[in-house]
Structure 1
Amino acid sequence: MRGEQNIINDLKNWKELIKPYATPEVKLARKEVWKTVLPFGLLFIAAAIVYEFQFWGALGICFLAGLFLTRIFIIQHDCGHQSFFPDRTKNDRTGFLMSLMTCIPYKYWARSHNHHHAHQGQLDTRTIGDVTLLTVREYNELSNWGKIKYRIYRSVPVMFVLGPIYYIFIHNRIPFIKFKGWEKERLTLLRTNLYLLGFFAILGVILSLPSFDLIEGFKKLALLYIPILITFAFTAIWFFYMQHQHDPNYKAWKEDWQYLLAAIKGSSYYKLPKIFNFFTGNIGYHHIHHLAPKVPFYKLEKCSKENPIFQKYVTTITLLSSIKYAFYTLWDEENYRMITFRQLKTIPVKA
């Protein structure tokens, strides 16, 4: 397509443009850790104190703590890309510590997510690190029961209500990926489950003080931390999900797939208020992140502002406009677009 060729021509030197920003800095990274983890810890302590007097007040604090947990996850996410610190050991240690709070297994999730980066928008590979997406042809070839299951799976209640709960408490607790070569990552997931049991056992004991009522301590822990986790999971899933569901978009089979186009057209620029950029770790600059995951999140905004060429071809979405993308469920290969089930009715079924 002519438009795609323009992107290739205008961004042929994208690696040179990106290079100055793909430089993690220890001082900046530590600053991000402190202004993220410290408020989260203080909010959790505040919620535990308020809980003794009013549960609903504590729940409100947990909602804010959940937003900070989203930011903690972005730190873990960058560590998985080896882009948060310049040193691998610091990245891995920090990523592991963050995973105890997010309950997302560090090594296992990082490999899955890096697979997503390497194959995003590639129709041959839609099984790891991404939401299942069918083409119109594939959907039409399903049995009636298969179509019902796919519609349920891609429905808003499943994606954004049941999905976050499943993602935290089941998907990231069981090593579903059985491919050869993933043995080490599967083992680290199981080990992470044990570490989490120890971590939350300690928290439960601490919350049982000074009465030493363990049942009450663990009840308090569940009533406070589960809402935090669900707030985080919903926020993370919404923002990661939306940035690949927009239209226009880019999907291609492996033989025609191009990395540059998958990043610029297959990812969006989520234009968010500053407060949302803070809590989501600038993940709204998703096109730049997919183009160069080695750029730490604390340099994405600067990279975007100093290189407006990256915004020339990307699909820009906002909080309001992105709502409609929750209903985009199929890839229409014939017309090169994402569509809804309602739009599917207007497409004639080929014999």
Structure 2
Amino acid sequence: MDSKQEKVTLQDIRRAMPKKYFECNTLTSISYFLVNLALSLVLLLVAIYYFESLSSPFFEIAWLSYFFLQGKCFWGLFLLGHDCGHKAFSKNRLINDGVGLLVHSFLLLPYEQWKFTHRNHHRYCGHIDKDEGYGPVRESSKVSRKASALLALSGFAYWCYLVGISRHGINHYSYTDPLFKSRKSKMKISLLAVMCMFLFLAVLSFQYGVVNVLLYYVIPLQVYSYYFIIITFLQHNDEKLVWHSDKEWTPLKGSLTTIDRNISWWNIFCHHINLHQVHHFYPSIPHYRLAPATKVFRKKLPLLVNTASEATLVSYAKNLWNYTFVGKVKSNQHSFSYHSAKYSSLESNVISESSHNFKS
């Protein structure tokens, strides 16, 4: 942040936003939920009643398309449940928690546990040592960046994170974790709901066969997990972003460790979650108000804007490489960016080679 950015406060950003952008409408939210649910149901019915009549190669193309699109529908459902966790779906707490519990349980994700750890991510966003998400790690950390990258590429990172194989080791399928001690009763309800979903899947497998459950549900769920990892990673990783420790970190600086990305037609399934800067400033803004709120933010506070327009997979590959090979933070370092680490490393190599050549 330069000197002009340092003078801006979260209150300044709040004052720049019309009050209407902070208002959620239950009927509007439910309409998005029903449309997303309808898209998912239509895909399922088409797969059940139409795919068997197709011949090769259309049969294979149809199934690959189903996995791709149904995974996106699952991602869209998650994002609506994500709004529930931020109280941005409805003003009514019971509606927020009811829809959130339903959606998260369908995706085998304990609602209350996720809501709690995700709030910690918002609370400590951009903090080198306390953030829940992907980011640079201390050189003394037990976290292996190469192993994390391999898990991300193989599709297991999401599930490892949920069971506590992560930088903070929080098991989302537990209600005894010290982090959850204040909400044990709600945690138990979330776990019971997920167990009911597992039981339902077991019944379906017995009734219709394991292969059908894999095709219609499990593989799309795995595709959803890829979307989850790729998109959330790109929301918080870029060469221009700066991470901080306790000595340098502030809530505003933390919220600025986010970046808006252009995801084109994907947004029909992504509910504007690509507009991530404003979401981190004020997570209670409903997803359908993020676009106009972002326009106001970019117009009134241009010095704070972080955007990227490169292709999603290209950006993912580049930033995952940076995370893996550059994302090491020294124990005495209070701020970090991939850009500075990358080019300081290059400069050191040049100096080292020059010194070697001079001695030779």
State the TM-score, normalizing by the size of structure 1.
0.81
Of residues 305-314 and 78-87 in structure 1, the stretch that sits farther from structure 2 once superposed is 305-314
CA 1:51–1:43 in structure 2 vs 1: closer, same or farther (change >3 Å)?
same
Quote the residue 2:16 is aligned against: 17
Q: Is 1:67–1:279's contact at 8 Å kept on the other side of the alignment?
A: yes
Structure 1 gap ranges (5+): 206-213
Quote the residue 1:114 is aligned against: 119
CA displacement 1:249-271 (0-9 Å, x = unmatched): 122222432112221x3000112
Q: How does 1:126-165 map to 2 (within 5 A)?
A: 126=131, 129-131=132-134, 133-134=136-137, 138-139=138-139, 141=140, 150-155=144-149, 157-164=150-157
Q: Is 2:260–2:274's contact at 8 Å kept on the other side of the alignment?
A: yes
CA displacement 1:273-298 (0-9 Å, x = unmatched): 1x222211111111100000000111
Quote the residue 2:320 is aligned against: 326
Q: Indicate yes or no: 2:242 matched with 1:250.
A: yes
CA 1:165–1:86 in structure 2 vs 1: closer, same or farther (change >3 Å)?
closer
The whole-number CA distance in structure 2 between the counterparts of 1:6 and 1:348 is: 31
The whole-number CA distance in structure 2 between the counterparts of 1:258 and 1:118 is: 10
- Out of 211, 216, 231, the position equivalent to 1:239 is 231
Q: Is 1:62–1:228's contact at 8 Å kept on the other side of the alignment?
A: yes
* Matched AA of 1:161: S
CA displacement 1:118-146 (0-9 Å, x = unmatched): 011123414xx323631xxx32x57xxx6
Deviation at 1:170, TM superposition (A): 4.8
Q: Is 1:36–1:72's contact at 8 Å kept on the other side of the alignment?
A: yes
DSSP-derived class of the 1:13 partner: helix
Quote the residue 2:212 is aligned against: 220
Deviation at 1:314, TM superposition (A): 2.5
Structure 2 gap ranges (5+): 165-170, 350-360
Quote the residue 1:192 is aligned against: 193
State the TM-score, normalizing by the size of structure 2.
0.79
Quote the residue 2:32 is aligned against: 32
Quote the residue 1:281 is aligned against: 271
Q: Is 1:99–1:106's contact at 8 Å kept on the other side of the alignment?
A: yes
The whole-number CA distance in structure 2 between the counterparts of 1:173 and 1:11 is: 31
Deviation at 1:29, TM superposition (A): 0.7
CA 1:13–1:165 in structure 2 vs 1: closer, same or farther (change >3 Å)?
closer
Quote the residue 1:8 is aligned against: 7
The whole-number CA distance in structure 2 between the counterparts of 1:115 and 1:24 is: 23
* Matched AA of 1:92: D
Tell me the C-alpha RMSD between the 2 structures: 3.0
Of residues 279-288 and 189-198 in structure 1, the stretch that sits farther from structure 2 once superposed is 189-198
- Out of 42, 50, 60, the position equivalent to 2:65 is 60
The whole-number CA distance in structure 1 between the counterparts of 2:191 and 2:237 is: 32
CA 1:243–1:193 in structure 2 vs 1: closer, same or farther (change >3 Å)?
same
Deviation at 1:169, TM superposition (A): 7.9
Q: Is 1:269–1:285's contact at 8 Å kept on the other side of the alignment?
A: yes
CA displacement 1:205-255 (0-9 Å, x = unmatched): 6xxxxxxxx3x4332112221111011111121111111111211222224
Q: Indicate yes or no: 2:91 matched with 1:86.
A: yes
Q: How many residues align?
A: 325
Deviation at 1:187, TM superposition (A): 2.6
Q: How does 1:91-110 map to 2 (within 5 A)?
A: 91-110=96-115
* Matched AA of 2:293: C
Q: Is 1:167–1:233's contact at 8 Å kept on the other side of the alignment?
A: no
The whole-number CA distance in structure 2 between the counterparts of 1:92 and 1:295 is: 17
CA 1:151–1:177 in structure 2 vs 1: closer, same or farther (change >3 Å)?
farther
- Out of 278, 285, 301, the position equivalent to 2:291 is 301
Q: Is 2:78–2:103's contact at 8 Å kept on the other side of the alignment?
A: yes
Deviation at 1:113, TM superposition (A): 0.4
Q: How does 1:178-189 map to 2 (within 5 A)?
A: 178-182=177-181, 184=184, 186-189=187-190
CA 1:302–1:293 in structure 2 vs 1: closer, same or farther (change >3 Å)?
same
DSSP-derived class of the 2:95 partner: helix
Q: Is 2:76–2:269's contact at 8 Å kept on the other side of the alignment?
A: yes
